[in-house]
Amino acid sequence: MSQSQLSNAQVTHFPVAAGQVGRLSQALMAMVLGLFVVGVVGFSHIDVVHNAAHDVRHSNAFPCH
Amino acid sequence: MSTFRSIVFSSVIAGFIVGLLVTVAQQFGTVPLILKAEVFEKATETHQHEAVPQPAAAGHDHASPEHAGHDHASHDHGAEAWEPRDGFERNAYTAAANVLTAIGFALLLAGFFAVRSGATGERVSWHEGLMWGLAGFAVFTIAPGLGLAPELPGVPAAPLVSRQIWWTAAALATAAGLALIVFRRSVPAAIAGVILLILPHLIGAPELAQVETNVPSSLTHQFVTAVTVTSLVFWSSLGAVTSAIFARFDHGVDARV
């Protein structure tokens, strides 16, 4: 509860436009991070990563081997 | 909570829920077929790799270094890399990889939800999230799978890097095509969108001229069905669960109004 009040207070200090730009860039950052995680688990050529995630790569129809 | 933190927080929760759910689904769907195919794969490997089994066989004469040796690093040079033991360890790594994959894709979805709700001023409902999930299914399973059918171990395929490039390009083109059709409601955009959807398949996925395998084709067909159905479970639940959790933690929309 206190956290949500705090964030509301913080956000209202910014003009709407600046808040929107911040929201877009933060969303993009999260999406790049997500693709990076998927890339390592599903596409890395490192043998150990491949062997650990082997069944998942096949089950998700990622190219494997 | 900042937007980035609420995206990451809700993606991690959704990733754990969906990753574990899909791990269970895979145990009934895809994993038994992978294990069956590996029996065929190992049968061919012992015929093909003439040089590789020799040092391993020699090692077994010296009191089996796999069990006795403690410095694996020195033994492993040139030999097979580490892999999880069959059974619990292997399934534990599968579960972990599933959770990570789900977190990764949830980050992508929640990023879209944040942009979407920022633009409309309304939270993305679980129902809209479900449809985003189905779009993910089309982009990451159906489109790449049309050209590169889900592979079983032991079935030879074109060089890995060329397939990874085509897979990525097919997913990108499909995502862009769908976005043009859904978000630009004009005839030229729709035509361009459909062309983008078709383009990767006109170019064609990398293929081998000849595929010789002793994995039965009935097993391959069962696997394609199993992969597609478990992936549908993955994407529909990931879309709905991620949007529901993100709507709960995202306060950016309230602040804006």
Write out the two tokens for B9.
């927080």
- For chain B, state the CA radius of gyration: 22
Site from A55, A64, A65 to mutate, B interface, most B CB atoms within 10 angstroms: A55
Higher pLDDT, B254 or B173: B173
ipTM of the complex as predicted: 0.82
Q: What is the largest CA-CA distance in chain B?
A: 75
- CB of A26 within 8 Å of any CB in chain B? yes
Which B residues, 76 through 95, put their C-beta within 8 Å of a C-beta on chain A?
A: 81-84, 90, 93-94
Assigned domain for A26 exists: yes
Write out the two tokens for B194.
């459909």
- CB of B8 within 8 Å of any CB in chain A? yes
Beta carbons of B112 and A7 less than 8 Å apart: no
Beta carbons of B152 and A58 less than 8 Å apart: yes
Assigned domain for A51 exists: yes
CA distance A3 to B48: 62
Contact B27, B91 (CB under 8 A): yes
Q: With 80 as the cut, is the pLDDT of residue B76 above it?
A: no
pLDDT in tens, A9-22: 444 444 455 555 68
What is the pLDDT of chain B when averaged over all its residues?
86
Give A2's pLDDT tier (boundaries 50, 70, 90): very low
Predicted pLDDT at B67: 40
Question: By CA distance, what is B31's nearest residue in A?
Answer: A55
Query: What residues of chain B lie within 8 A of the CB of A55, using their CB?
Result: 26, 30-31, 34, 90, 94, 97
- CB of A21 within 8 Å of any CB in chain B? no
For chain A, how many structural domains are there in total?
1
Assigned domain for A18 exists: yes
- Which stretch of DSSP H or E encloses residue B34? helix B31-48
CA distance B18 to B107: 13
**DSSP assignments along A3-65, one per residue:** HHHHHHHHHHHS-HHHHHHHHHHHHHHHHHHHHHHHHHHHH---HHHHHHTHHHHHHTT----
CA distance B94 to B84: 10
Beta carbons of B114 and A11 less than 8 Å apart: no
Domain housing A28 = 2-59
Higher pLDDT, B110 or B256: B110
For B139, left (φ over 0), alpha (ψ -120 to 50), or beta?
Answer: alpha
- CB of B211 within 8 Å of any CB in chain A? no
Assigned domain for A64 exists: no
Within its chain, how far is the Cα of B78 from the centroid?
29
Find all residues with CB under 8 Å of A60, minimum gap 6, and list them: A42, B101, B140, B141, B227, B231, B234
Work out whether the CA dihedral B90, B92, B97, B101 comes out positive or negative. Answer: positive
**Whether this model's pTM surpasses 0.90:** no
Write out the two tokens for B5.
């933190």
Compute the average pLDDT of residues B78-99: 88
CA distance B60 to B72: 14
Contact B38, A61 (CB under 8 A): no
Assigned domain for A43 exists: yes
Give A1's pLDDT tier (boundaries 50, 70, 90): very low
* Domain range summary for chain B, segments of one domain joined by +: 3-157+208-256
Alpha-carbon distances, residue A2 vs A7, A9, B143, B172 (angstroms):
9, 11, 45, 41
Assigned domain for A25 exists: yes
